[in-house]
Amino acid sequence: MISRFKVIPGGSVTSAAGFSAGVVAAGIKSALNAPDLALVISDRPANAAAVFTLNQFRAAPVVLSEEHLRFGQARAIIVNAGCANAGTGKTGYENARTMTELAADRFELDSVTVLVASTGVIGVQLPMEKVKAGIKKLIPSGDGGAGFARAIMTTDLVPKEIAVRSPEYGFTVGGCAKGSGMIHPDMATMLAFITTDVSIDGKMLRDELHKAVDKSFNVISVDGDTSTNDSVFLLANGASGIELKDGDGAYHAFVHTLEYVCIHLAKAIARDGEGATKLIELTVTGAYSVADARKVIRTVLSSPLVKTAVYGADPNWGRIVAAAGRSGAYFELEKVSLTFGGICVLAGGTPQPFDKKEASTRLRQSDVFIELDLGLGQASATGWGCDMSEEYIRINADYTT
């Protein structure tokens, strides 16, 4: 399906027509001269949609952006790294609002058309004087996407970005994301920013974003922790001149492209999990419902026992089935089959003889593929996670010290 589209080399959040981005080192991060304040902006009004964390401990920028999105349009998103602005009370909310107002003044916008996102340490107030000075220095440009993707990083090791163009219809979808730890999305600290130059009805935009998130960001897990700041933003500004109508070819092409971009970014987050050495791809088939398949995926991929077994290349398949059995999904052991990288270890609930040495060799690959057939129905889903190493503990044991 994606063969109809072209992945743009070096593509980013500014690859879609009419978008630009700017970055500065405002001094919010502790690292000297590290970029930590960024803005992406559309040169015209854009329909906007977002999906936010369901964690009831919600950061101030999440609350404020949700309020601004009631108007259905946005021109810009201002983002900082190094401070989550979560657990910061009324002061934190006012600081988030001030960020949108400062960005609006800087670029002559209405502040309700400016969204805001933050990532970093919880329970710390933003250094607003540094933020104010930084916003004044922002100079967006069309080639600022790569800098934007780097500025939003915290414990990430690599930036995560992509852009895809439809040669047939002439539109582009681009985006970037950050996330490495505290990843178990329920809508992952995870942020994603997606832009497109199609013209699309606001309700359709929201509906398609929710569907794409369910197939991508909501089926990844690094450590089982949802965040206070998880947000996925999507802006559509119509700069390509392509207007989407429900059911037409361009609309279907957009849906598939958006899904591809979201899955690519979600997999990049899972692959870059804190301390991770391997990407795990888990496909669940034969589920009673898609909801059940996703329950199994989220439970298995967040299991410390499964994750550490994969890290140690130990084909201890019982951990996977045990996690599936406690997922809350409809489950009958005598119908379950399990395959590790092409090696069947369980069929119809009966253990199968297999070469443990060969299975261990396959678990040493950078990409580990697991297929779990519940044998109950026709529903299926695929999700992504990572192994868990000693490095994960080191990173998180002294995160604030």
d(CA 240, CA 237): 8
Both structure tokens of 288: 């009673």
Query: Which of 88, 113, 189, 299 is the catalytic position?
Result: 189
First to last CA, the chain: 47
Q: Report the distance separating Cα 194 and Cα 258, nearest Å.
A: 9
Helix, strand or coil, per DSSP, at residue 113: helix
Look up 155 and say whether it is catalytic: no
DSSP 5: S
Q: Does residue 311 sit in helix, strand or coil?
A: helix
- Encode 320-359: b = buried (16+ Cβ within 10 Å), e = exposed: bbbbbeebebebeeeebbbbbbebebbeeeeeeebeeeeb
Using alpha carbons, select from 228, 392, 193 the residue that is nearest to residue 302: 392
Question: Helix, strand, coil % (nearest 5) of the chain?
Answer: 35, 25, 40
Q: Which residues contact 288 (CB under 8 A, 6 or more apart)?
A: 329, 330, 374, 376, 377, 379
* Residue 236: strand pairing partners: 47, 196
Show which residues are catalytic. Answer: 189
